Amino acid sequence: MEYYFSDKLKALKPSAIREIFKSLGDPEMISLAAGNPSPLSFPVDDLARISADIFANSATAALQYGTTEGYAPLVKEVEKRMKEKFSIGREGDMTIITSGGQQGIELACKALCNEGDTVICEDPTFIGALNAFRSCGAKTVGLPVGDDGIDADELDRLIESTPTAKIVYLIPTFQNPGGFTTSLEKRKAIYNVCAKHGIMIIEDNPYGELRFAGEEVPTIKSMDTEGIVLYSSSFSKILSAGMRVGYMCGPEPVIQKMVVAKQSEDVHTNIFFQMLTYRFMTECDLDAHIAGIRKLYRSKCDLMLSTLDKVMPDCVKYTRPEGGLFLWLTLPDEINMPDFVKKALEYKVAVVPGSTFLCDTNGTVNAVRLNYSTPSDDDIVKGCTLLGEAVKEMLNK
């Protein structure tokens, strides 16, 4: 039997990150390639205690079918927190609980884009979002993202010249993969450009609570007087990634359409863990828990940066993130990125090729992504030191 696939999925490949993970079967390999939260960030004892109570007192509701919109008390609590922390939630907004932040992004594209429509993205950007757009048959077009975000004038011109543009996808805070944060000035300018064109923004903010340096920058959604911003976030980086509980807040007509689409995808998100998340939020001290994670990541990021400062020659550049999980390391022109990734594997260190995150699947960029949240402190030092040796070996050739 010969199998024929849909046009939108024909070209879609498993992400390069997953391929790299296969090399991680080697127990000697140090991975700086992951995007996982630290296991130290899971509040296991509290979750265990609340779980036992749910089984004892609310088992039927927790194990039965639920509503697609999400467990109502959790929706309310999420809305309260978004309001308090990020000034999000205007008249006419609605929130849906999704199976991880990933699902919200995919549902939004499914609701708004026909095949052949265009999503404008930061370049590089989160591979999971790129593949979600592609799996809906949408094209992805990138705008270079610098230290402080994309350029609003360039965005204006790109929208002008792209009649199929339907969505602008942004990770303004501690961007994945770059660690970049878009400045307030640029956020305002980007919002105004999108409002002028009546084009929807997806503001993806999974790392927003993980600031460990610098000043808070207001979310784009907090400026959304026009109802053009879909705000996505999740509990993956602050409670548990494996439970798959995220959310999206946006204009009610759009969220309602996503509810209909979600009903056809997975009916609803795991109810037990929605209840568990709600109970943790209301019975435990989420702020204190997050403060602990920030402290942990500050120390891990500092350790990675100070090691890189020590071992890397000046021609190697990297971002100094103020939060999140990642930094972006740019190689000098003398070093070819794919060769470096291979050389790093010889040195038993896994990193993610920067080209993985490009809108153009044939594009290249002379950079790699490094993660500091997952590896142990020892592995951060050892891994970065080995990467330094790899760079030096390649420069001396």
How far is residue 104's CA from residue 255's CA, in Å, rounded to a whole number? 9
Among 26, 266, 309, 334, binds its own copies (CB under 8 A): 266
- Residue 391 makes CB contacts below 8 A (sequence gap 6+) with 312, 313, 316, 331, 335, 340
Residues of this chain, 276-305, that bind its own copies according to CB under 8 A = none
Positive or negative CA dihedral for 268, 272, 277, 282? Answer: positive
Query: Is 201 a residue that touches its own copies (CB under 8 A)?
Result: no
Residue type, 393: E
3-state secondary structure of 35: coil
Q: How many residues bind its own copies (CB under 8 A)?
A: 81
User: Interacting stretch for its own copies, rule CB under 8 A, among 155-163, 173-181, 267-275, 302-310?
Assistant: 267-275
Query: Is 28 a residue that touches its own copies (CB under 8 A)?
Result: no
Query: Is 1 a residue that touches its own copies (CB under 8 A)?
Result: yes
Among 85, 90, 128, 302, binds its own copies (CB under 8 A): 128
What are 330's strand-pairing partners? Answer: 317, 367
Residues of this chain, 49-68, that bind its own copies according to CB under 8 A = 51-52, 55-56, 59-66, 68
Residues of this chain, 227-256, that bind its own copies according to CB under 8 A = 227-228, 236, 240-244, 251, 253-254
Query: Is 165 a residue that touches its own copies (CB under 8 A)?
Result: no
Give me the least distance between CB of 351 and its own copies, in Å please. Answer: 18
Q: In 3D, which of 345, 278, 267, 317 has the Cα closest to residue 65? A: 267
Query: Is 22 a residue that touches its own copies (CB under 8 A)?
Result: no
Strands (E), the chain: 30-31, 93-98, 118-123, 139-144, 165-170, 200-204, 229-234, 246-251, 317-318, 326-330, 349-350, 352-353, 367-371
How far is residue 262's CA from residue 69's CA, in Å, rounded to a whole number? 9
How far is residue 303's CA from residue 378's CA, in Å, rounded to a whole number? 10
Give me the least distance between CB of 10 and its own copies, in Å please. Answer: 8
Give me the least distance between CB of 359 and its own copies, in Å please. Answer: 15
Q: How many CA atoms lie within 13 A of 271 on its CB side?
A: 18
User: Interacting stretch for its own copies, rule CB under 8 A, among 6-14, 279-287, 301-309, 336-344?
Assistant: 6-14
Among 151, 265, 302, 389, binds its own copies (CB under 8 A): 265
Q: Per-residue b/e over 365-388, b at no fewer than 16 CB within 10 Å? A: bbbbbbbbbbbeeebbbbbbbbbb
Q: Are 376 and 201 in contact (CB under 8 A)?
A: no
Query: Is 397 a residue that touches its own copies (CB under 8 A)?
Result: no
User: Interacting stretch for its own copies, rule CB under 8 A, among 12-20, 152-160, 352-360, 387-395?
Assistant: 12-20
User: Interacting stretch for its own copies, rule CB under 8 A, among 78-86, 110-118, 201-209, 384-392?
Assistant: 110-118
Structure tokens at 219: 């979310």
Give me the least distance between CB of 366 and its own copies, in Å please. Answer: 27
User: Interacting stretch for its own copies, rule CB under 8 A, among 126-134, 153-161, 310-318, 388-396?
Assistant: 126-134
